[in-house]
Structure formats: C-alpha cells, structure tokens
A = this chain, B = another copy of it.
C-alpha cells in the first residue's frame, strides 16, 4: 500500500484510530527506528514496534470512539510534510468530548508517504458543552 500524499496517510491514520484497527494503523506508520509517537501526557515512544505496542494497549477493551480530524495548517517539502490538526474525539456514547491538538509529520520513502511522527497534547476541552482552553504554562 503506497499512500500518494500526506493527506491520504492522515485520513487512514484517523480511520484506523476510529475503527480500532491495528493492521490499518501499522500500514500508515513509517517502518523505522526513527518513527516517534507522543500520546497525550505520555512519554516519547520510538520505533514502529514500541509505537504499535502502545496502539495495541489503547485499542484493547475500548469501544470505537468518534474521531474527527480537522487540518489547521500544512507545510510540505519534497520528502517531509507537517500537519497541525485538531482531533475532535468523543466516547462511543458521545457523553465526553475532547479537542486534542496534534502535530503529524509525514515522510516520503520507497513505500510512498508514511507517518513519521505523531505528537498529541492533552485535551483542551473535557466537557460536552464548554470550550475554555487553559492558559499557557510554558
């Protein structure tokens, strides 16, 4: 499977997330020791194997969430692309909604475009009605 552009990889990544599809998730990632993933509040995971282990744990015993991604910003070079996205994530019953900011890095290799890095923040919003992002702490 060779994705023709970063947008195709991104769509497949969020589809795999939505469907708790481990095989689909594996296909979107760069098969590389340089792949990296930072889940919300989590440590740095490096390499495809460690990253896939984390998705295995996340997908286990979970109902498929509602996940919608909104592309906020895209920058692309010939072999590297950066997307800033808002992930709108709801629990299966819709009771809890969260907006998660993520930076997704795509790389072009012999396998076409793949996901090289995913860095997601903790949710800005945890209720279903309010939107009150916290003040920056840096």
Which residue of chain B lies nearest to A54 when distances are taken between CB atoms in the complex?
Answer: B136
Question: Once the chains bind, are B84 and A36 in contact (CB under 8 Å)?
Answer: yes
Given known A82-B82, A84-B117, A119-B101, contact A138–B34 (CB-CB < 8 A): no
* Copies of this chain assembled into the complex: 2
Chain B residues positioned under 8 Å from A84 (CB to CB): 36, 44, 117, 119
Question: Once the chains bind, are A103 and B101 in contact (CB under 8 Å)?
Answer: no
Can you add 19 more A-B contacts, CB < 8 Å, to A43-B124, A76-B80, A84-B119? Answer: A34-B73, A36-B72, A38-B101, A38-B121, A42-B136, A43-B101, A44-B101, A54-B138, A57-B136, A73-B117, A77-B79, A80-B80, A80-B81, A82-B116, A82-B117, A101-B119, A103-B103, A119-B119, A121-B121
